[in-house]
Amino acid sequence: MPLPLNEKRCHVCGQKSLRHVRRPFEYEVSHDGRRPVRIHIPDLEVIACTNHDCHPEHPDDTVIEDEQATWRITIETYRQLGLLTPEEIRSQRERLGLTQQELQELLGLGGNTLSRWENGRVYQSRSLDTLMRIVFGMSGALSYTRGLHHTRQVERAENRPKVQ
């Protein structure tokens, strides 16, 4: 079992002075080939050394971003970029009764693109975000997309060279 936080030692001062604290966090992210956007989180919960005698060369040396903090940064980045979050993509897809594979084909995506979006590993482009919002939110858009996908498949099958 991992040590509780108050039993762990700060890697700078060696004291058992690590605690969860909230502090502002900012970083810049480039998305979609646009100018970088500054993401601001006023109260990110991180692990920090609370020993006043601990003076690391860089203040961030005693701040540890755990998995929870990393995920919060990811989600806030989606929100502040104006994109559907991974959880929103997943729940909307499930609401329509679509598998990842089905939605991926309807949107014309390759590989494991959709699963990467739903795991928060890749940010979808703005244009595909818009397309998803239309499919999720506009009545008739899903059946239109299905019809388009079906027509293309039929055309592709008809254009395939016939085996002699």
Q: Compute the least distance from the CB of residue 42 to Zn ion, in Å.
A: 24
| Residue 18 in contact with Zn ion, rule: CB under 5 A | no
| Residue 46 in contact with Zn ion, rule: CB under 5 A | no
| Residue 13 in contact with Zn ion, rule: CB under 5 A | yes
The Cα angle at residue 96 between residues 90 and 100, in degrees rounded to 5: 45
Cα atoms found within 13 Å of the Cα of residue 14, Cβ hemisphere only: 0
Part of the chain binding Zn ion (CB under 5 A), chosen from 22-30, 47-55, 97-105, 133-141:
47-55
Q: Compute the least distance from the CB of residue 67 to Zn ion, in Å.
A: 21
- What CA–CA distances, in Å, run from 82 to 23, 38, 74, 157, 164? 23, 13, 13, 39, 53
- Contacts (Cβ under 8 Å, ≥6 apart) of 133: 84
| Residue 64 in contact with Zn ion, rule: CB under 5 A | no
Q: Which of 31, 32, 51, 105 binds Zn ion (CB under 5 A)?
A: 51
Q: Compute the least distance from the CB of residue 119 to Zn ion, in Å.
A: 34
Part of the chain binding Zn ion (CB under 5 A), chosen from 34-42, 54-62, 124-132, 152-160:
54-62
| Residue 12 in contact with Zn ion, rule: CB under 5 A | yes
Distance CA 164, CA 161 (A): 9
Q: Compute the least distance from the CB of residue 2 to Zn ion, in Å.
A: 19
| Residue 54 in contact with Zn ion, rule: CB under 5 A | yes
Note whether 53 and 76 are within 8 A (CB). no
Where do contacts with Zn ion occur on this chain (CB under 5 A)? 10, 12-13, 49, 51, 54, 62
